[in-house]
Amino acid sequence: MAEHGIGLVGCGMIAEYHTRAINEIPGSRVVAVFDQVPGRGDKIVGMAEEGEVAIYDDLDRMLAHPGLDVVSVCTPSGAHRDPAVAAAKAGKHVIVEKPLEITLPRCDAVIDACDAAGTRLCTIFPSRYSSANARLKEAIELGRFGRLTLGDTYIKWWRTQEYYDSGGWRGTWALDGGGALMNQSIHNVDLLAWLMGDVETVTALTATLAHERIEVEDTAVAAVRFKNGALGVIEAATSAYPGLSKRIEIHGDRGSARIEQDDITLWEFQEKVPSDNDVLAAMAKVGATGGGSDPRGITHEGHRQQLSDFLAAIDEDRPPFVDGREGRKSVEIIRAIYKSAEQGGTPVTLPLQDD
């Protein structure tokens, strides 16, 4: 792998996960960080394990840093577009934390800027890299489920009022872009569409039931019709104490499977294959809830795998596994859910006309 110098834009909590991941990828290192809050970059600098790291409070100056060829945008969700576009125009490859942005036009601005500059773009969705989800995707592609009939995901998490009060951007439309769906549940919305295929229509309701002083939803339900004819359900919450393991279920007329957190807890098919024995032998009841009650209750392993793929994609001149257009899909689904809820549960058909 070629040498890659990476700059981080935004030095909050998620930048720590990016830094840990980059530390473990041979040939890559954090060379620069940017944040407008004085002192916030110090922790990231202390975490970086190789070489000196420059701290900037001016983005253009950071983009001109010698040896920097990749920029990772770790700002609040509604502040992804501008630094991502600036990085692309400066000729840098771009990593953007989920969501890619909070509206489709803002997503498209990032995608278009990277296309115009000829630079690579990826959206962070580390759940796609878990072995359980990869095995589930393979089983679908092999036709083991027969005709897909149902695809459901449940993210019944808990966030305290202090969580929302801890940052001025949390729970706002302008910078969070939404609540339990856009912030916490987007990972499983992405997984559901990746596994089941494109969404045709959504019918949804949302509410704010357990928190004060937030503009966005902490509880949401949506019925989904996929383009292949299958139906599904999305449930998302930060209002479900004490916070449960996220869950995804795929059903067809020849098989069913369930993943809780990142473990397979149901694996049953009419036609058995030898590898099923390995799955069944490893199957265990999930104890951990991941980020169900604690935003820091995740590991950086998925980030490491995804960033490794992205850097390899640059070296090999190929698209990354999760590019910008893939990242756009979950935003479109969630924006359609919000539109349906705003209209009192009226079905909304994709593709969505967003603003």
pLDDT tens, residue by residue, 245-282: 999 999 999 999 999 988 999 999 999 999 999 898 88
Q: Do 85 and 111 fall within a single domain?
A: yes
Asked whether residue 279 is domain-assigned, the answer is yes
| CA dist., res. 234 & res. 181, Å (int) | 9
Q: Is pLDDT of 297 > 90?
A: no
Asked whether residue 355 is domain-assigned, the answer is no
* 330 close to 202: Cβ distance less than 8 angstroms: no
* 335 close to 103: Cβ distance less than 8 angstroms: yes
Q: Is pLDDT of 223 > 70?
A: yes
Higher pLDDT, 229 or 279: 229
CATH, residue 103: 3.40.50.720
Q: Do 20 and 38 fall within a single domain?
A: yes
pLDDT at 293: 56
- For the entire predicted model, the pTM comes to 0.95
Q: Do 192 and 214 fall within a single domain?
A: yes
Asked whether residue 104 is domain-assigned, the answer is yes
Q: Do 209 and 71 fall within a single domain?
A: no
Asked whether residue 354 is domain-assigned, the answer is no
Q: Do 284 and 304 fall within a single domain?
A: no
Show Cβ contacts of residue 344 under 8 Å, excluding neighbours closer than 6 positions. none
| CA dist., res. 156 & res. 238, Å (int) | 6
CATH, residue 251: 3.30.360.10
pLDDT tens, residue by residue, 105-150: 999 999 999 999 999 999 999 999 999 999 999 999 999 999 999 9
Q: Do 120 and 82 fall within a single domain?
A: yes
Q: Select from 72, 75, 24, 77 the least CA-distant residue to 47.
A: 24
Phi then psi for residue 53, to 5 deg, are -120, 125
Length of the chain as a residue count: 355
Q: Do 192 and 255 fall within a single domain?
A: yes
pLDDT tens, residue by residue, 11-40: 999 999 999 999 999 999 999 999 999 999
Asked whether residue 223 is domain-assigned, the answer is yes
C-alpha triplet 215, 219, 221: angle, nearest 5°:
125
- The DSSP secondary structure of 164-183, one letter per residue, reads HHTSTTTT-TTTT-SSIIII
Q: Select from 28, 114, 43, 15 the least CA-distant residue to 307.
A: 28
pLDDT at 167: 75
Peptide bond into 99 cis (omega under 30): yes
Asked whether residue 38 is domain-assigned, the answer is yes
* 237 close to 157: Cβ distance less than 8 angstroms: yes
| CA dist., res. 27 & res. 1, Å (int) | 6
Asked whether residue 247 is domain-assigned, the answer is yes
- Amino acid (1-letter code) at residue 252: G
For residue 232, how far is the Cα from the chain centroid? 20
Q: Do 94 and 234 fall within a single domain?
A: no
| CA dist., res. 272 & res. 70, Å (int) | 45
Domain of 343 in residue numbering reads as 128-292+331-349
Report the side by side order of strands in the sheet with 199-207: 263-269, 255-260, 247-252, 148-156, 231-237, 219-226, 199-207, 348-349
Q: Do 132 and 157 fall within a single domain?
A: yes
pLDDT at 1: 63
Q: Do 62 and 79 fall within a single domain?
A: yes
With pLDDT > 90 as the criterion, what percentage of the chain qualifies? Answer: 88
| CA dist., res. 77 & res. 262, Å (int) | 25
Count the domains in the chain: 2
What's the rounded mean pLDDT across residues 44-57? 90
Q: Do 175 and 269 fall within a single domain?
A: yes
Q: Do 95 and 59 fall within a single domain?
A: yes
With pLDDT > 70 as the criterion, what percentage of the chain qualifies? Answer: 96
